[in-house]
Amino acid sequence: MKTIGLIGGLSWESTQVYYKYINTLTNSKLGGLNSAKINICSLNFSEIEKLMFRNDWDSVANIIIESALTLEKSGVDFILICTNTVHKVFDLVQNSINTPLIHIADAVGEQLNTLNIKKAGLLGTNFTMEQDFLVNRFQSKFDVDVLVPREDERKIIHSIIFDELCFGKILDNSRREFIRIINSLRHHGAEGVILGCTEIPLLVKDSDTNVRLFDSALIHSAYAVKLALE
């Protein structure tokens, strides 16, 4: 079994989801008392958040690189960044380490291709929805067209993520807003919707809608387990 490196704390709410998903999937495949070999470098999200909102992505990259190097020295076989938004600095991090970094969009994109999804909605932070670091990767590498919500809807999603989900607050009214926006994306041609923030599945589940949802944290975790057990 290979050792998985996780850069977490971005937020810790979603990091515990990764830890649970990876161990649950590993045990389902191997049985008994088997669990995954995982090294976690958990950061203080408050520091990262301030830098993101100041648009200081170079400093964000430096922190993530330092964490990746720490995991590399610990002997992990590959590394996951446990959030979508920080993948904005993916290339800077990968170019600074020797250990493979597993991109969350690659894991999701492969599943979209397997299911022949050609147009998908994308929900996430404003950084993820309004910038092109995930959208371009889905389009250029997997030939998937990406739809994002309207500006007013993006503001709602962003606020719920940072003001509620990152604090573990799960509110019914917020769930209804997400479902409304998901249904709007389907109305505009989305064949499925990518939950492109690892906190969103804390709020929205498959049972909440008839629209096919792609939980990026679960898909990323499953991809890691597959690599670890190859």
Instruction: Give the integer Cα–Cα distance in Å for 121 and 189.
Output: 9
Residue 119 CA, chain-centre distance (Å), reads: 19
In the block, tokens 């991809």 appear at: 223
Cα Dmax for the chain: 49
Instruction: Give the integer Cα–Cα distance in Å for 115 and 160.
Output: 30
Strands 3-8 and 37-42: parallel
Catalytic: 83?
yes
In the block, tokens 């719920």 appear at: 160
**Pick the catalytic residue: 15, 83, 125, 128?**
83
Whether the upstream peptide bond of residue 11 has omega within 30° of 0, thus cis, is: yes
Contact, 215 vs 201, CB < 8 A?
yes
Of 39, 103, 36, 37, the closest CA to residue 73 belongs to 39
Of 36, 98, 33, 72, the closest CA to residue 229 belongs to 36
The residues annotated with a catalytic role in the active site are 83, 197
